[in-house]
Amino acid sequence: MGSPIASTIAQLVLEYLEEELLAHSNYDITIFKRYVDDCLIITSEQQDQEILAHLIGFHNKIQFTIEKEKNNSINLLDITIIRNNNKLETKLYRKPTNTDRILDYNSAHSERQKRAIITNYIDRAIKLTSPTYRPTILEETITLLTKNNYPINKIKRILKQRTHKLYNTLDATTKKEPTTYIPIPYIPQLSEKIENILRPYSSIKIAHRPHLQIKQEYSRLKAPTPKEECSHVVYRIPCNDCAGVYVGQTQQKLKDRLKGHKYSKAPTALYKHTIENQHSFDFGKTEILDKEKNRKPREFLEMIHIKQDVNSINDRTDIRNLSSIYSTIIDNTKKKRRT
């Protein structure tokens, strides 16, 4: 599933297969439900192997397996479906490999995120479970949350609120104004202040995200892309004969842009510095300063780096679109670099 369109193609193939199975066959299928590649089929015991053979024979690259009910129940996704006196009931299912480890209450995340976790687990327990099994599943959910240090009084308070809301269809179906979520790294105290500033605006909400993520703790198994092969970058080229540097940005591969600098006679600041001062640039020591796929943000980053670097030989016109509100921050950065 490495290609961006792989999931779409897989969905189309399975939709075609589903239509082929249901429309052009005489199988006695009472219920057919599918989520991506997981299918639930209720049929006679005599036809299950025929249906499996039909699916397997569709294409030699596509393989299917079958799982039959045991003790009048079968697991599908996050639920167990139970056949009880010709009536189907459900309850929340957790795989045997489940470790009961979720986000710990003592971790450095916003209180709203922790509340959302409690709400999510309680909602799933109520919505995916039939009334017969609901008390047992809710007890298991409370145990899971307390294992991860969630306060029992908070759990019970949210359980009471969610039970009332989910049983009251009038409250649950109330239409709300569309909300825009703004993701920002969570910093204790500061994030809460920003959230309070935006509180009067009901259509705007802050979505807190962790500042440190798991991927930062592990080494990258994939080999890094060579510098010359990188595209959509802001770069800096040092001069061989003085302290001057040229800052630029490109959507091309860096090697192609550098080749253009070497042989082009366009009146760029780099070309003018070369001709007027009889200097040369060390293209082999080119640095990548930033990466950004969108052109406008990339041009903004280029202007920031030009303004920040005291040795930049770029024309002043290269930063004419940079607002003066950034000057104080950039000037402070320059002072730190000098010291």
User: Which pLDDT tens digit goes with each residue over 35-63?
Assistant: 877 888 888 777 778 778 877 777 778 78
- Tell me how far apart the alpha carbons of residues 55 and 52 are, in angstroms, rounded to a whole number: 5
- Tell me how far apart the alpha carbons of residues 247 and 250 are, in angstroms, rounded to a whole number: 11
Strand partners, 89: 82
pLDDT in tens, 261-308: 888 888 888 888 989 999 999 999 999 999 998 988 898 888 888 888
Handedness of CA 291, 297, 299, 305 (dihedral sign): negative
- Tell me how far apart the alpha carbons of residues 28 and 105 are, in angstroms, rounded to a whole number: 50
Q: Say if residues 159 and 138 touch (Cβ distance below 8 Å).
A: yes
Structure tokens at 197: 């500033």
What are the boundaries of each domain within the chain? 6-92, 180-213, 227-338
Asked if pLDDT for residue 210 goes beyond 50, the answer is: yes
Strand partners, 291: 233
Q: Say if residues 163 and 155 touch (Cβ distance below 8 Å).
A: no
Q: Say if residues 214 and 239 touch (Cβ distance below 8 Å).
A: no
Structure tokens at 16: 């075609």
Amino acid at site 179: T
Mean pLDDT of 182-202: 82
Phi-psi region of 205 (alpha: psi -120 to 50; beta: other; left: phi over 0): beta
State the pLDDT confidence band at 76, using cuts at 50, 70 and 90.
confident
